[in-house]
Amino acid sequence: MERIANMMSIAGAAILGGGVFLNTFFYTVDAGHRAVIFDKAFGGVKETISGEGMHFYIPFLQVTPIYIE
């Protein structure tokens, strides 16, 4: 019984860690919108425009995306 509880706690921690990772390092751009990233460390607003979908960013060096209609 103790082994099952151990496995369940490890699985729960993995699911929680995965959720925190996805919430921290990825952002989504909704349909019909675009976004740009402000980079604090490497030169301000990036020239690339992100389209719809899920994108990766570095949360400590880049600010959460600015959405364009």
The structural domains of the chain, with segments of one domain joined by +, span 2-68
User: pLDDT of 19-57, one tens digit each?
Assistant: 888 778 888 898 989 998 888 888 888 888 889 999 988
pTM listed for this prediction: 0.64
Q: How far apart are CA 34 and CA 7, in angstroms?
A: 42
Phi, psi of 45 (to 5 degrees): -70, 130
Q: Is residue 69 predicted with pLDDT exceeding 80?
A: no
pLDDT, residue 10, reads 93
Is the pLDDT confidence value at 2 over 90? no
DSSP alpha helix (H) spans, 1-69: 2-25
